[in-house]
Amino acid sequence: MGVLDSLRQLTFLSTAVRMALAVLCGGVIGMNREHKRQPAGFRTYMLVCLGSAATVMLGQYEYLMLTTRWAETSAQIGVLTDVSRFGAQVINGIGFLGAGTIIVTARHEVHGMTTAACLWASACMGLAIGAGFYECVLVGFCLIFLAVKVLPALERKIVANSRNLTFYMESGSTDDLQEVVGCIRSYEGEIYSIEPEISRQNRKNAAFSIVVHLPKRYTHVRLLSALSALDCVRFIQED
């Protein structure tokens, strides 16, 4: 514990360690988002985490100076400093950066929420690094990395085994829906909704978003394969 206690002091060595740790942790998380071609990637996460760490250290430095070297001057002019305000401004400011990663598609679907949440979590981790709260950094980094690296595979598995299936399809005309509905019912699927959409492939095609509930013995892949085999279906994709 002696090493950790010394690194919690505001020295050149502890400052260098904190900033290097912020670059490392932010960069590792950002590499995963970069691999998935998200708006915010390796350098963005690195800079957010580094900037957050530097902000907290700045607050600590000002508090230290105002209570030691600058104490007499600050007492004369009545300067008061709340170091927690620096971290609060980081949390508020990261909202602008996170908002830039969130987009709403033409189909009114929201993308980028996970990236924005990761940026916010990375900023919080940077604040912990800057404060020298290394135990929090270790646990926080492991959990954030788990959320962005391991859990997506589990999420895909859960979705694939879900009884509810949402898919997008295109056909030659709206009259083809009857054949599609017949195929779904042959697999004992219960249709929750059928909504017209804007075609993604060819504007001349009729496009639909369909939500179906399947019995346990039929998988998403099996139904989608059967639908794609229909002559009337020109494009189909699970959403």
pLDDT at 152: 75
Tell me phi and psi for residue 184, to 5 degrees. -65, -40
Cα three-residue angle 90-125-58, rounded to 5 degrees: 50
Phi, psi of 211 (to 5 degrees): -115, 125
Torsion of CA 34, 150, 165, 208, to 10 degrees: 0
Name all contacts of 83-86 with Cβ < 8 Å and 24+ positions apart: 83/56, 83/59, 84/59, 85/59, 86/55, 86/56, 86/58, 86/59
pTM value surpassing 0.75: no
Please give the pLDDT value at position 133.
Answer: 79
- Compute the distance between CA of residue 21 and CA of residue 2 in angstroms, rounded to an integer: 19
Q: What is the pLDDT of residue 139?
A: 82
The residue extents of the domains of the chain are 2-159, 164-238
Backbone angles phi, psi at 105, to 5 degrees: -75, 175
Domain 164-238: CATH architecture, name and number where available: 2-Layer Sandwich (3.30)
Half-sphere exposure of 56 (CA within 13 A, CB side): 25
pLDDT tens profile 167-208: 999 998 888 899 999 999 999 999 999 988 888 777 888 999
In this prediction, the residues of the chain whose per-residue pLDDT falls under 50 are none
What pLDDT, on the 0 to 100 scale, is given for residue 85?
74
Read off the pLDDT of residues 86-104 as tens digits, 9 standing for 90 and up. Answer: 777 777 777 777 777 776 6
Q: What is the pLDDT of residue 47?
A: 75
**Cα-Cα end-to-end distance for the chain:** 50
